[in-house]
Chain A
Amino acid sequence: NAGVMQNPRHLVRRRGQEARLRCSPMKGHSHVYWYRQLPEEGLKFMVYLQKENIIDESGMPKERFSAEFPKEGPSILRIQQVVRGDSAAYFCASSLTSGEGTEAFFGQGTRLTVV
């Protein structure tokens, strides 16, 4: 059973370009979470999605960032018009359930560098 798969592992974008980060959850998992880790900081929650629905986007910046988890295919985190401050490691996690005792499994992350 493959783990959470994220691609690309590394992404370099020039300021103003768009970045698309992909996440395939573990088989059977319908809960997906995106986190961002800035240098020297812990992981910060961005968004929680279930299939075709955004459940909680309280950690998402109001502009330029969007996320989706379509019925078919991976979850996508999209950053439009990237700026240098968007440079970070972006981690996706998935879980089978959402109640107490839920274990979130993390992917290896996408390291975004904006030049």
Chain B
Amino acid sequence: DQQVKQNSPSLSVQEGRISILNCDYTNSMFDYFLWYKKYPAEGPTFLISISSIKDKNEDGRFTVFLNKSAKHLSLHIVPSQPGDSAVYFCAAPSNAGGTSYGKLTFGQGTILTVHP
């Protein structure tokens, strides 16, 4: 049961344009969402998060939008840069039973390629 889904395996964008990465979830109990960025042969690094009480969170070139009714979130990167090329994972704490918000359910990831 894939509770967090990223249906686009890859995305290719021109430098300077906007990158939009999408994520859907099925578990209505999720109340916090995170985006991680991962380069090859490295671990994921935290990028940005959003609580379910908000519908938008912005940090520099990165903005995450949350649509709770649609169970959908998106990450916008503008302007996109070649150094943004990486795999992006959407994640949500699956802390049912009150274990920890560090216990995460990840999507499959989207490979972003930004062309110069």
Min distance, Cβ B75 to any Cβ of chain A, angstroms: 15
The CA-CA distance from A42 to B89 in the complex, in Å, is: 8
Across-interface contacts of A35 in B (CB, < 8 A): 104, 106
Interface string of A80-115 (1 = CB under 8 A from B): 000000000001010101111111111111000000
The smallest beta-carbon distance between B7 and chain A, in angstroms, is: 12
In the bound assembly, the distance between CA atoms of A98 and B32 in angstroms comes to 13
Partner of A31 from the list B6, B31, B102, B104 (CB cut-off 8 Å) is B102
The dominant DSSP class at the B interface is loop
Nearest chain A CB to B100 CB, angstrom units: 4
Inside 8 A of A56's CB, which chain B residues have their CB?
A: 97, 99-100, 103
25 A-B residue pairs with Cβ-Cβ distance under 8 Å, sorted by A, are A4-B43, A33-B100, A33-B102, A33-B103, A35-B104, A42-B4, A42-B89, A42-B109, A43-B44, A43-B104, A44-B106, A45-B103, A45-B104, A45-B105, A48-B100, A55-B99, A56-B97, A56-B100, A91-B43, A93-B102, A100-B93, A102-B101, A104-B46, A106-B43, A107-B43
| A residues adjacent to B (C-beta < 8 A) | 4, 6, 31, 33, 35, 40-45, 48, 55-56, 91, 93, 95, 97-109
Chain B residues with CB under 8 Å of chain A are: 4, 6, 31-32, 36, 41-46, 49, 51, 89, 93-94, 97, 99-109
